[in-house]
Amino acid sequence: MTDTILDPAFLQPVRLSPDGRVLQLLDQRALPAREIWLELREVEAVAQAIESLAVRGAPAIGCAAALGLAAGSWGFPEATGPWREAAAQAIERLARTRPTAVNLFHALAHMRAALALAVGDAAALRAALRQAALVYVAGELQACVRMGEFGGPLLPEGTILTHCNTGALATAGWGTALGVIRRAHQLGRDIRVLADETRPVLQGARLTAWELQRDGIPVEVIADNMAGALMSRGQIQAAIVGADRITRRGDVANKIGTYTVAVLCRHHNIPFFVAAPWSTIDLEMESGAEIPIEARDLDEVHLHGGVRMTPAGVGARNPAFDVTPAELVTAIITERGVFRPDELAAAAAAAK
Ligand code: MRU
């Protein structure tokens, strides 16, 4: 860990209690108005926290699942056979929470593999899960820091547009796209951030603005429909976003609205960067058309601040993610380096 670049006020929003029995989560639904820490002991509660967006962001979902499984395993039966059966069911339950972010399945595969190798009584299996979860989270954090090292110097000076929230809240800490922005700021680059508000759940307005303000990085919020006009007036120099899944050919699934930003960037000849840990790349999937896109509750669209904005009886649509084709992506920043989308498959083969 190159902890020299981590901020002293480092935010770790998904963590295990010191005794390993409790998953502690900073409840993202309450931000920025209130900072509420949830204490979760059971896998079902962890699954519901992921589904309800108390914890969200692809890497953070994976971390919550791994740590939540470790914490929840204290409630499994003591005999080894039933214990393993309970663990398998818990992994199945967590896998059903959100379909798009591949990091969740990556984290659960990591935990399943650790369990398969573990031997001994329930206490030994619990210890193996805890160790595996902590290793997973440490790896994710290190990946964010490395992405910042690679990506920070790439960002041009000026105004950087970002979409959704990709910061400490969405990861094991530090952030993917926001980690790159943080690093650029640390390096003294003269940047300011425009955060798309990111309807319908407002991750940009609520969470990205909260994180950047906390860090003292200049930030302003814009409604999602403003970016094009600002680009046409030369007021945006680059865009950087995270990803929930990147396919072998470099298609990028990310928060709904990302595709629109990428199209606008191409039209205005502005670089469009994606920052994501290698665990976000799904090498088994070739095209973005194969990525399962989560459809969320329509009330997220109908309501704003709890108040209904649409006439009763009118329908809505709420796909939570879109897919940006590889052709619109300038570069993908990972902890292994910076790649053009068409270089990913070769980079994966070279790493084997
Ligand atoms: O529905 P969410 O809030 O979990 O969606 C999050 C995003 O789309 C993020 O941009 C993505 O997970 C990258 S986070 C580092």
pLDDT score for 277: 96
Locate the ligand 1 atom nearest the alpha carbon of residue 177 and give its number.
15
The predicted pLDDT at position 5 comes to 54
The tens digit of pLDDT for each residue in 256-283 reads: 999 999 999 999 999 999 999 998 999 9
Backbone phi, psi, residue 120, to 5°? 115, -165
Residue 101 has pLDDT above 50, yes or no: yes
User: pLDDT per residue over 212-246, tens digit each?
Assistant: 999 999 999 999 999 999 999 999 999 999 999 99
pLDDT of residue 351: 79
With beta carbons less than 8 A apart as the criterion, state whether 262 and 254 touch: no
Residue 95: predicted pLDDT? 98
d(CA 37, CA 24): 6
* Residues near ligand 1 (Cβ within 6 A): 56-59, 101, 164, 166, 170-171, 176, 203, 242-244, 254-255, 320
Cite the beta strand spans of 146-305 per DSSP E.
158-162, 191-196, 219-222, 238-241, 245-247, 252-255, 272-275, 281-282, 303-304
CA distance 84 to 78: 10
Residue 210 vs residues 97, 116, 138, 204, 307: alpha-carbon distances, Å: 26, 41, 24, 9, 23
% of the chain residues with pLDDT over 70: 97
Q: How many Cα atoms within 13 Å fall on the side-chain side of residue 121?
A: 3
More confident: 58 or 305: 58
Give this prediction's pTM. Answer: 0.95
The span from the CA of 68 to the CA of 47, in Å, is: 9
Clarify whether 27 is annotated catalytic: no
Which residue has the CA at smallest separation from atom 8 of ligand 1? 255
Ligand 1 center to residue 320 CA distance, Å? 9
C-alpha 309 – ligand 1 centre gap (Å): 25
CA of 197 to the centre of ligand 1 (A): 13
Going by their DSSP bridges, the two strands 337-339 and 331-334 should be labelled as antiparallel
Point out the catalytic residue in the list 215, 224, 244, 322.
244
What band does 352 get if pLDDT is binned at 50, 70 and 90?
confident
- In which band, very low, low, confident or very high, does the pLDDT at 310 lie, cut at 50, 70 and 90? very high
